[in-house]
Amino acid sequence: MSTVSVALSHSQMQRSPSHTATIYLKEAKYEFLKNLRLRVYTASVLSFPLMFYVLFGLVLNSKQAIGGTAVPTYLIATYGTFGVMGASLFGTAAGLASDRGLGWLEVKRASPMPPFAYFAAKVITSMIFSAIIVLALFALGFTLGGVRMPLADFLRLLATLVAGSLPFSAMGLALGYFTGPNSAPAAINLIYLPMSFCSGLWVPFMFLPKVVRQIALVLPPYHLSQLALGIVGAGRHESNATHWEVLLGFTMICLGVARIGFQRDQGKLYG
Amino acid sequence: MIAALEQPQQTDTANSELIVASLEGVDKNYGDVRALRGVDFRVRAGELVALLGPNGAGKTTAVKLLLGLMQPNSGRVRVFGVDPTNPENRMRTGAMLQVGRVPETLRVCEHIDLFSSYYQKPMAPAEILAAAGLERLADRKFGDLSGGQRQRVLFALAICGDPDFLFLDEPTVGLDVEARRMLWDEIRKMVARGKTVLLTTHYLQEADALADRVAVINQGEIIAEGTPSEIKAKTAGKRIRCITSLSVNILRQIPGVTAVKEDREAFELNAVEAEPVVRELLERDAKLSALEVTSAGLEEAFLALTSETVRDGTIPINRTYSPEGMR
Q: Is residue A256 part of a domain?
A: yes
Q: Looking at beta carbons, which residues of chain A come within 8 Å of B94?
A: 111
Q: Is residue B283 part of a domain?
A: yes
**The pLDDT value given to residue B119:** 95
pLDDT (average), residues B100-110: 95
Angle at A120 between CA A11 and CA A156, to 5 degrees: 135
Domain that holds residue A137: 19-265
**The pLDDT value given to residue A2:** 38
Tell whether the model's pLDDT for residue A173 goes beyond 70: yes
| Residues B156 and B58 reside in one and the same domain | yes
DSSP B123-159: PPHHHHHHHTT-GGGTTSBGGGS-HHHHHHHHHHHHH
| Residues B228 and B246 reside in one and the same domain | no
A22 to chain B, any CB pair closer than 8 A? The answer is yes
> Per-residue confidence at B9, pLDDT binned at 50, 70, 90?
very low
Q: Is residue B302 part of a domain?
A: no
Q: Is residue A9 part of a domain?
A: no
| Residues B10 and B138 reside in one and the same domain | yes
Instruction: Count other C-beta atoms under 10 Å from residue A7's C-beta.
Output: 10
Which is nearest to A255 in space by CA: A167, A123, A129, A124?
A167
Q: What 3-state class would DSSP assign to A253?
A: helix
Boundary-marking domain end, from B180, B205, B232 = B232
Query: Any alpha helices (H) in A164-268, and if so which ranges?
Result: 165-178, 183-198, 210-216, 220-231, 240-265
Q: Is residue B324 part of a domain?
A: no
How do residues B274-298 score in pLDDT, each as one tens digit? 888 888 888 888 888 888 887 665 5
| Residues B216 and B282 reside in one and the same domain | no
Q: What is the mean pLDDT of chain B?
A: 83
Which residues make beta-bridge pairs with B294?
A: B239
| Residues B16 and B34 reside in one and the same domain | yes
Q: What 3-state class would DSSP assign to A203?
A: coil
| Residues B224 and B241 reside in one and the same domain | no
Of A9, A30, A101, the CB nearest to B114: A30
How do residues A8-52 score in pLDDT, each as one tens digit? 444 456 789 999 999 999 999 999 999 999 988 998 899 999 999
- In chain A, the residue whose alpha carbon lies closest to the alpha carbon of B111 is A30
Q: Is residue A151 part of a domain?
A: yes
Helix (H) or strand (E) holding B197: strand B196-201
Q: State the best of B78, B79, B88 to mutate against chain A, taking most chain A CBs within 10 Å.
A: B88
How do residues B36-69 score in pLDDT, each as one tens digit? 999 999 999 999 999 998 888 899 999 999 999 9
Of A37, A104, A111, the CB nearest to B118: A111
| Residues B156 and B272 reside in one and the same domain | no
A206 to chain B, any CB pair closer than 8 A? The answer is no
Side-chain-side CA neighbours of B164 within 13 Å: the count stands at 23
Say yes or no for a CB contact (<8 Å) between B97 and A1. Answer: no
Helix (H) or strand (E) holding A81: helix A71-89
A2 to chain B, any CB pair closer than 8 A? The answer is yes
Q: What is the mean pLDDT of chain A?
A: 90
CA distance B115 to B161: 8
- In chain B, the residue whose alpha carbon lies closest to the alpha carbon of A95 is B103
Number of structural domains found in chain B: 2
Q: What 3-state class would DSSP assign to B18?
A: coil
Q: Is residue A270 part of a domain?
A: no
Burial class (CB in 10 A: 0-12, 13-18, 19+), B167: buried
CATH number at residue B243: 3.30.70
How far CA B140 is from CA of A128, B100, B128, in Å, comes to 26, 19, 15
| Residues B191 and B46 reside in one and the same domain | yes
Boundary-marking domain end, from B186, B213, B232 = B232
CA distance B260 to B275: 16
| Residues B130 and B192 reside in one and the same domain | yes
Assess contact for A198 and A212: CB atoms under 8 A. yes
Q: Which amino acid is at A14?
A: Q
**The pLDDT value given to residue B297:** 58
Tell whether the model's pLDDT for residue A271 goes beyond 60: no
| Residues B214 and B289 reside in one and the same domain | no
Instruction: Count other C-beta atoms under 10 Å from residue B139's C-beta.
Output: 9
Domain that holds residue B274: 237-296
How do residues B160-194 score in pLDDT, each as one tens digit? 999 999 999 999 987 888 888 888 998 999 899 99
CA distance A119 to A170: 10
Of B93, B100, B118, the CB nearest to A103: B100
Number of structural domains found in chain A: 1
pTM recorded for the entire structure: 0.82
pLDDT (average), residues B70-98: 92
pLDDT (average), residues B293-306: 66
Of B86, B97, B118, the CB nearest to A6: B86
Q: Is residue A88 part of a domain?
A: yes
Query: Any alpha helices (H) in chain B, and if so which ranges?
Result: 2-5, 59-66, 87-91, 108-118, 125-131, 147-159, 177-192, 204-210, 228-235, 248-253, 274-284, 298-307
Q: Is residue B306 part of a domain?
A: no
Q: In Å, how far is A9's CA from the nearest CA of chain B?
A: 7
User: For residue A42, what are the contacts with CB-CB under 8 A and spacing of at least 6?
Assistant: A35, A36
ipTM for the predicted complex: 0.90
Tell whether the model's pLDDT for residue A164 goes beyond 50: yes
Identify the weakest region by mean pLDDT among B11-25, B114-128, B229-243. Answer: B11-25
Give me the percent of chain B exceeding a pLDDT of 70.
Answer: 83
**The pLDDT value given to residue B306:** 66
Q: Is residue B206 part of a domain?
A: yes
